[in-house]
Amino acid sequence: MTLEGKVALITGSTSGIGLGVARALAAAGANVMLNGFGVAAQIEEMRGEMERAFCVTVHYDDADLMKPEQVRALVKRTQEEFGSLDILVSNAGIQFVAPIEEFPEAQWDSVLALNLSAVFHGMKAVIPGMKAKKWGRIINIASAHGLVASANKVAYVAAKHGVVGATKVGALELANDGITVNAICPGWVLTPLVESQLVARAKEAGTEVSSEAAKLLEEKQPMLKFTTPEAVGAMVVYLCSDEAQTITGSPISIDGGWVAQ
């Protein structure tokens, strides 16, 4: 499978799932615009390594996606620097945990701004260019929480349900424009952030990391196995392929059976 000549923008791609997606797309031949926060020197090292490893062009932009004008500017910069924007993967997100009656309103606003509104603004900005080319792939990284709920995560669950809904609307509107719109709904993904949390839990409880991992997984997943960022990346690459051209409006679960219950 090759995406040679395609241009992909992946938000929240300096670590975790987004980085796994970016590397998978680069490995398939796509030129990549990275976006996210982190230490500048480390991001530059990562950007250069991707270019060398996959023989593609990789750029980086630190746009703050909570600001709609910066989302639009990120899309415009990608189009100008690469001459096109064929694939948008909206992955950036944050989390906050508290009961509804204690949930800070500022945190509600922040989670909705990044996890949902940024997805809308990104879709709106890329659609005209994709329509002009009669080809495009919009892939929104939602969550198992886009399909089911958990207590104490009202903003995240509301936002991810909204992402799934926006995905379906986009799919209907663009069904005959050569553009597909899908959502990937991962369960537990073994990112560096989750790995550090498991180490902290094990240290606090005086147990092994493997034991804490099993406890975390069994809270939600029948399959006691983490999804990897690479697996999510592989699904993104498939959704960009010609073979997936009639898959649209789908919330695709990669969750070890989480939402099958």
**Residues annotated as part of the active site:** 156
Q: Which two tokens stand for residue 45?
A: 């090292």
- CA quadruple 42, 47, 53, 54: dihedral, nearest 10: 160
Helix, strand, or coil (residue 252): strand
Strands annotated E in 127-257: 136-141, 179-186, 251-254
Rg (the chain; Cα; Å): 18
Q: What is the largest CA-CA distance in the chain?
A: 58
**How far is residue 107's CA from residue 111's CA, in Å, rounded to a whole number?**
6
Tokens at residue 57, please?
């062009």
Q: Record the tokens describing residue 141, joined without a space.
A: 């990284």
Structure token digits, residue 50: 């991707």
Q: H or E stretch including 9? A: strand 7-10
Cα 51 to Cα 48, 191, 192, 239: the distances in Å are 5, 22, 22, 23
Task: Provide the 8-state DSSP code for 190.
Answer: -
Look up residue 15 and give its amino acid: S
